Amino acid sequence: MALEDEVRRLKCAFRRALLVAVSGASACATASPDTAASSDAGAVEDRDARAGGADAGAAVPDDASGDAACLPRTFIPDPPDTCGDYVMFPCGLPEGVAPRGDCFFPLGACNAICPGIQFNCHAVEAYCRDGGIIVPDDAGAVVVDCSRCAGSVGRVPEGLEPCAPPTAPSSLAAYFSAAAHLEAASVYAFRAFARELSAYDAPLELVSAATRAERDEVRHARAVARLARRFGGRYVKPRVRAAAVRPFEAFAHDNAVEGCVRETFGALIATWQAAHARDPEVARALDVIANDETEHAALSWAALRWSFARLGAEARERIADACARAIDRVLDGGDGQGGRDDPALVDIAGLPPRRVRNALAGTLAEELWSAFAHVEDTAA
C-alpha cells in the first residue's frame, strides 16, 4: 500500500472516530469505559493514611510478592496533581527496579512500575535523600510519581534520558513545556528511523518520508515551545543517547508499538485538539501538527507492512503480541494522552476528557488496531 493510501486510510478512520466521540455512541466493545485508576478511588490524604489505598492498576513485575498487602496502590497527593499518576509500593520497590542515581528511573523501568506510558517517573521528594538515594518510610513504603502530561504526539526515541519537568505555574504551562521537550525528542527519533530504514534498504519513499518527518518535528518543537513560554512554562532540551542500528526485528517492534499504536493515537488526539481548542493560537498550531502527525503515523503503517513482509511468522506474532499489550494500555487510559478533565487542558489545549478519549481509543481499536489480530493481513 502506497504512503498516500495510508494517509487516506488514517484520515478516514480518524473522521469516524471523531464522529463516534461527538455523538457519544459506544465506540467498541473492547474499549473499557474508564478502567484507568480514577482519582476518587482509594484517595489517601497523607502518608499516615496510605494503608487504605486502592489498587493502582500499575504494571506488577512477574516477581512481585503474592501478598496482597504488598501490591501497588493508587496514591493521591494533597493537593491532587493533574499531571501525575502516583503509585505507592507498600513493601518497597519491586525487585530489580532501580533508579538512575538521582531518584529518576530509566524509561524501561517506568513502563514496568507505572500504570501506562509515561513522560518519566521518579520517587517523590519525601523518599529521595541527598545523593539520589531512595529511602522507604517507617512502614517500608515508597511512592513513585509517574508523570503522564507528556503532551507529545510524536515518536519517543530510544535512548531518551528522563528529565525532571521544569517548575510550571499551571497545568497549561506544564503540558506545553513537556510537549515541547518531547516534540524536540522526536527529531532524534525520526533521524534514527531514517538511518535504520536506509540501512535495511527500505524503499526510497519511506526513507524520504522519515527525513521530512524529522524536519516537521523541528517546526513542531518551536511552535509548542512558544506556547509553553506564553503560558509561563519553558522548554528543556532533550538528551538522547546515541544508538546503533538495531537488529531488524527490534527495529520493526519499535516502529509497530511506538508508531502504529502510540503515535497513531497521538495523531488522533491532536486532530481532536485542533478542532476543540478554544484558544485560537493553540488551535492553529495543533491543526498543522495534527496533519503532519497523521502523515507520520501513516509512515509507521507503511513501514510496518514493509517490515512484516521481511519477517518470519514467529517474529510477526511476537510484535503483534507487543502491540496488543500497548493497545490494552491505551484502552485502559494509561497512555498519557487526554486531559483527565482538567478544565484548562480540556478548554484551552483542547485535550479530550476521559469519556471522549475512551471513545476515540475504542474506534481506533475497531478501525485500525484490529489488524494486529490478523498478522498476515497487516503484512499484505
Is CATH 1.20.1260 what the domain over 3-31+153-158+166-379 is classified as, yes or no?
Answer: yes
CA distance 351 to 341: 8
Comparing CA positions, the residue from 329, 347, 350, 210 lying closest to residue 270 is 350
pLDDT for position 259: 94
Helix%, strand%, coil% for the chain, nearest 5:
55, 5, 40
CA distance 264 to 262: 5
pLDDT digits (tens, 9 = 90+) for 69-106: 899 998 887 766 555 678 999 999 988 888 876 787 87
pTM over 0.85: no
pLDDT for position 79: 62
Burial of 98 (0-12, 13-18, 19+ CB in 10 A): exposed
pLDDT for position 131: 66
pLDDT for position 301: 96
CA distance 157 to 321: 21
Q: Structural domain boundaries of the chain?
A: 3-31+153-158+166-379, 47-79+84-147
Q: What angle do CA 135, 137, 140 make, to 5 degrees?
A: 95
- Spatial contact of 342 and 172, defined as CB atoms under 8 Å apart: no
Helical H segments across 88-203, by residue range: 107-113, 171-199
pLDDT for position 57: 39
pLDDT for position 340: 56
83's grid cell: 499531571
pLDDT for position 98: 82
pLDDT for position 50: 31
pLDDT for position 122: 82
pLDDT for position 148: 58
Instruction: For the chain, list residues with pLDDT below 50.
Output: 25-65, 117, 150-151, 339
pLDDT for position 165: 66
